[in-house]
Amino acid sequence: MRLLLVEDDRLLSESLTRTLERAGYSVDIAPSRQSAETLASQESYRVAVLDLGLPDGNGLDLLKLWRQQGQDFPVFILTARGNWQDKVNGLKAGADDYLAKPFQSEELLARLHAIIRRCEGRSDDMLTAGSFVLDENRQYLTLPDGTDHPLTGTEFRLLRCLMARPGRVFSKEQLIEQLYSLSDSPNENTIEAYVRRLRKVVGQNTIETRRGQGYTFNANA
Ligand code: CA
């Protein structure tokens, strides 16, 4: 799941990126308002984490611009300023949630999960497709026979993408876009290799190949 992290504090953005990547996000860092504006207009993000105090402008103005442009990905505001006016202004400008620095990364992850879940219309961290259940906290897959299977980070991200919309066909390019950040350089063979590995877990026909189109999760295979 692609995440845009807008944060000018390099130490914080690097440590947050490690935390977020472990939790299954593909993270692009924007250290300025301008770079965030450019990235958001070119890439497709599922969620953004936005610092308000940026070297070349205010994060709130950027958020207002995104909402005016119809960018509707959920936005999570991070800021050193913890007073109530900032929270109210952030929410009024179109933010979905808010956390004041310093914060615990567990709280950030839990709140991020919650806003994404709400956007997907779910009430818990379990993603279900047919008799398969993906536990987003533990990054485990429960198979129809009840056995748990641990997943690597990339396996988890790929399966999450497919299972979130069973029956929808994803091209290899779309999967690469959702699975990797701009700093990675995967190719279509990488996706093929991961699909082969996942098929050994979920069964050959559960991840269907649509010739010339891509892959789809068939929950009833
Ligand atoms: Ca800042």
| pLDDT value of position 40 | 97
Cα distance between residue 219 and residue 94, in whole Å: 36
From the centroid of its chain, how far is CA 175? Answer: 13
Please list the ranges in the chain whose pLDDT falls under 50.
none
Cα distance between residue 198 and residue 193, in whole Å: 9
CATH of 2-120, one of 3.40.50.2300, 3.30.300.180, 3.30.70.100, 3.40.30.10: 3.40.50.2300
CA of 97 to the centre of ligand 1 (A): 17
Residues 6+ apart with CB under 8 A from 88: none
Alpha carbon dihedral 120, 124, 127, 131, in 10-degree steps, equals -130
CA of 109 to the centre of ligand 1 (A): 20
CA of 56 to the centre of ligand 1 (A): 10
Residues 6+ apart with CB under 8 A from 221: 203, 205, 206, 208
Q: Given the DSSP bridges, would you call strands 132-135 and 126-129 parallel, antiparallel or unpaired? A: antiparallel
32-to-38, 165, 192 alpha-carbon distances in Å: 10, 33, 35
1-to-76, 102, 103, 180 alpha-carbon distances in Å: 15, 25, 23, 8
CA of 172 to the centre of ligand 1 (A): 36
CA of 43 to the centre of ligand 1 (A): 23
Q: Given the DSSP bridges, would you call strands 2-6 and 26-30 parallel, antiparallel or unpaired? A: parallel
CA of 147 to the centre of ligand 1 (A): 45
> Which two tokens mark 169?
């066909």
| pLDDT value of position 188 | 87
Neighbours of ion ligand 1 (CB under 5 A): 8, 51, 53
| pLDDT tens figures, 34-75 | 999 999 999 989 999 999 999 999 999 999 999 999 999 999
Secondary structure (3-state) at 119:
helix
CATH of 126-217, one of 3.40.50.360, 1.20.1250.20, 1.10.3210.10, 1.10.10.10: 1.10.10.10
According to CATH, where is 1.10.10.10 located in the chain? 126-217
Specify which residues 77 forms β-bridges with.
50, 98
Contact 51, 24 (CB under 8 A): no
Cα distance between residue 42 and residue 202, in whole Å: 34
CA of 15 to the centre of ligand 1 (A): 15
CA of 177 to the centre of ligand 1 (A): 27
CA of 142 to the centre of ligand 1 (A): 41
According to CATH, where is 3.40.50.2300 located in the chain? 2-120
Percentage of the chain with pLDDT > 90? 73
